[in-house]
Structure 1
Amino acid sequence: MTWYTLLVLVVAVERLAELVVARRNAVRARARDGVEHGRGHYPVMVVLHTGLLAGCLLEPLLADRPFLPALGWPALALTLLAQALRWWCITTLGPYWNTRVIVVPGARLVGAGPYRFLRHPNYVAVVVEGAALPLVHSAWITATVFTLADAVLLTVRIRCENAALTTHAVPA
């Protein structure tokens, strides 16, 4: 399971890199009178995503989950595709991307990159990764619990984000 542990740790480091980018972008957005929405659900999101990574490490170990190639390899491919989509979103939004919902009044909605096809493509990456990463090493309980909890969280998050963008942003 060493390679899987390394994979989860690489994803954790990637998440830390996201937080660095998000903090830098939050400072910039606030300097431009950015308005934050949804502060109440943010700590829940942090706990949920931390729990995903912990579950990915603990469930295969504690429940003696095997690596099943027919499940693990496709799940790994989906995990990697989710990472690529996430960074496509981050680079497309540039200074507007954030882990928080901070909208700069008068900023134009982005209609480039993956946003040409979907309003919230980053959440597609979150859903795919949340299901696929645990399944790389047969952690089906973690995949199921995260997916169900994340569905509730994303319902709140997307409503919050849509309301914030409707209130403050200018259509593309």
Structure 2
Amino acid sequence: MIFWILWGLVVLQRLSEVIIAKRNEEWMREKGALEYGQAHYKWLVGMHVGYFLFIALEWTIGAQLLHPYWFVILLGYVLLQGLRIWMLTTLGKFWNTKILVIPGEKRITEGLYSSKLRHPNYLIVTLELVLFPLLFQAYVTAVLFSIFNALFLLLIRIPAEERALGEG
């Protein structure tokens, strides 16, 4: 039961972020935003949808046990949500799931973005993709989607975002 409650809460959180992203996209496009990386965006969405389906499947057919150190893992995950909220509020209307750049706008260098870490959101997502499955001993999901995420982020998404920020 705890799995479905937490899974549902995380899915609802992500769906609410999609709504926020859509509103932000409309605002940014009104300001003349240009979109980059359209070709890979559907794969990013597919990976995240697949992640939630896969972990649900692994839980359903798997051991259905919380990790012995579930409290520590859950605490880590909750702390990541604090960082996620900080990141979202720092970027404000500029936060999006798509790569949108308003020409002439300065890059945000406050909050989590004031450090040398250029893409803190991707570090947060990477850790979430590991911790949530570990909480439920869904090791296949943790490993498989960590690999997908790392390959996708390192080889496609971050370079596309860097190019867009350099051109914007």
Which TM-score applies when normalising by structure 2?
Answer: 0.95
Superposed CA RMSD: 1.1
Q: Secondary structure at the match of 2:104?
A: coil
Partner of 2:105: 107
Aligned partner letter, 2:61: L
1:68-79 alignment, distance < 5 Å: 68-70=67-69, 72-79=70-77
Structure 1 residue 54 displacement after superposition: 1.5
CA contact (8 A) 1:78 1:129 kept: no
Which residues of structure 2 form unaligned runs of 5+? none
Structure 1 residue 133 displacement after superposition: 0.4
Partner of 1:32: 31
Identity across matched positions, percent: 35
1:17-96 alignment, distance < 5 Å: 17-70=16-69, 72-96=70-94
Q: Secondary structure at the match of 2:38?
A: coil
Alpha-carbon distance between aligned partners in 2 of 1:68 and 1:13, rounded to the nearest angstrom: 23
**1:68-123 C-alpha deviation (Å, 9 max, x unpaired):** 222x2222122212222112111100111000000000001111010012211111
Q: Does 1:167 align with 2:162?
A: no
Partner of 2:144: 145
Q: Secondary structure at the match of 2:35?
A: strand
Alpha-carbon distance between aligned partners in 2 of 1:6 and 1:59, rounded to the nearest angstrom: 16
**1:113-141 C-alpha deviation (Å, 9 max, x unpaired):** 10012211111110010000011110000
Which TM-score applies when normalising by structure 1?
Answer: 0.93
Q: Secondary structure at the match of 1:41?
A: helix
Structure 1 residue 13 displacement after superposition: 0.4
Alpha-carbon distance between aligned partners in 1 of 2:51 and 2:80, rounded to the nearest angstrom: 15
CA contact (8 A) 2:67 2:134 kept: no
Structure 1 residue 56 displacement after superposition: 2.1
State the number of aligned residues: 166
Partner of 1:5: 4
